[in-house]
Each structure stands twice: as C-alpha cells, then as structure tokens.
Amino acid sequence: MSSEGRRNGLVHTILQPPGWPEPQGYVNGVAARGRMVFTGGLVGWDETGAFPEGLAQQVRQTLGNTRAVLAEAGAGPEHIVRMTWYVTSIAAYAAARKEIGTAWREEMGRSFPPMAVVEVVRLVEPQAMVEIETTALVPE
C-alpha cells in the first residue's frame, strides 16, 4: 500500500507493499519529484576536524554535518529521500540504537527516509566510525 504526503511543498509517495511489516525509523521506499541534491560520504568530525568519542556521538555530528550540506542547497531533513550509512561495527550500532534514535530525532526530526546500514572493515578517516551518503529532492 502506498500513501501520499506533503512536507514543505514536497509531494512524495511512501512505498509500502501490502502485507509487509511496518518499518521502524525508516520507510521501504519513496517516490518524489524535485531538484536532486547529493552529499558525499560525510563523517562525524567537527569544523576543526576533531571526532567525538563513541558511535552515537559521531552519528549525531554526522547528521548535523548532513543538515549543513543540505542547507547549502536550500534542503533540510524533510527533503531526504535516501540515506546509506556505513558503520565499522554493526554490534556497536545495535548497542547504541537508542542513543542513535535520540540523536536522529533531535537532528533530523520525524522524517524517516529509506535507508540502509552497511558494515565495512574501515573508513578512509581512521577515527571515523560512521559515514553517511544522502540524496534529497527539493521542490522546484
């Protein structure tokens, strides 16, 4: 079953096949129109290049960095249509889910795009525990 919604001028359709369980904290798919905005793989460093300790804190910083890049294109969390997270430990991600959920709500609000979380051996930045790529659509 698909549902249509409108957020800040962006018309989108959430794609949810009949009979599938409802996802928690994300959606299975979205159809939308607009100007595409892409981020590179962003990590959780601050403006000085320093990384906070711990995965949840790095996620929070990475989400803030994502918001900053999107803002340069006039976009915000409500315009995100896809995210891919790369983490260096699924076990650490699972252990920090509650803190990550809190960071998400505080940084991104109640917008839950389609997303994937992928465990990788390492990231280019040695201190990074998470890297996030984002695609957004801004109404034209």
Per-residue pLDDT tens digits of the chain, which is 140 residues long: 445 554 444 567 888 899 999 888 888 888 888 899 999 999 999 999 999 999 999 999 999 999 999 999 999 999 999 999 999 999 999 999 999 999 999 999 998 999 999 999 999 999 999 999 999 999 88
CB-based contact 140:75 (threshold 8 Å): no
> What's phi and psi for 139, nearest 5 deg?
-60, 145
* Residue ranges of domains in the chain, CATH in brackets: 35-138 (3.30.1330.40)
Q: How far apart are CA 114 and CA 86, in angstroms?
A: 15
